[in-house]
Amino acid sequence: MYLFHAIGDIVALAVVIAISPFTVIPVVLMLLSPRAKAVGGGFTIGWLVGIALVVSAAVALAQFIPEPGPAESQPISAVILILLGVALIGLAVRSWRNRKAEDTEASMPSWMSKIDTMGPVAAAGLGFLLAAPKPKNLILGVSAGVAIASAELTIGQNVIVIAVYVVLASLSVLGLVIAYFVSPAGMLGPLEALRDWLVKYNSVIMGALMLLIGFVLIGEGIGHL
């Protein structure tokens, strides 16, 4: 029962990472590049390692939070979740303020323009950097780690929940790369359309998602008090 409860706690956090434009756009650009399969595979490996590292480290560190007795509150976990929720809301506000007007030409960060020249190793490094130290993913990964540790599972159960989190957070990356490997020609049109749409609306999408999850985390934190 605790296992499924823990999985339920991390699903929304992982899905936000998976559908983030800054998760999908780099993959799309790589799959539209001349060395699509090599760089796409490298990015996927780096991404999986980064996501797994953050949530695993968070679970390990959260074990040092003092365990409450029966029917006791969890003030430390509560404060952590509330602060993480506030941080996400702050990122949501910043994302909303940085949004582009609908009639403004969409543009990408300068580092994305260099993806065409990347090799597999550089792509793996980029995947790791986008998965691990990026503030939004770091906050969500730490939140998931605290939630998993709070469930007081066995080591084996922790591994299962962490694996579920990694897979869910990587669904868009894995899905796009696998689909391209299966049908490269058939994916070109959809990839180009998806890239243009995400570049145009990424701030609005991420602002709404982070705002929602921020309030969810604050609610969970209050529930631990």
The predicted-structure confidence for 197-216, as pLDDT tens digits, reads as follows 877 777 777 788 788 888 88
pLDDT at 197: 82
DSSP state of 153: -
Q: What is the pLDDT of residues 13-39, one digit of tens each?
A: 898 899 887 788 889 989 988 889 999
Share of the chain above pLDDT 70, in %: 88
| Count of Cβ atoms closer than 10 Å to residue 109 Cβ | 11
pLDDT at 105: 47
Q: pTM of the prediction?
A: 0.80
pLDDT at 21: 79
Closest CA to 65 of 149, 161, 6, 139: 149
pLDDT at 43: 94
Closest CA to 43 of 168, 106, 108, 131: 131
Q: Whole-angstrom Cα distance, residue 7 to residue 76?
A: 21
| Count of Cβ atoms closer than 10 Å to residue 31 Cβ | 23
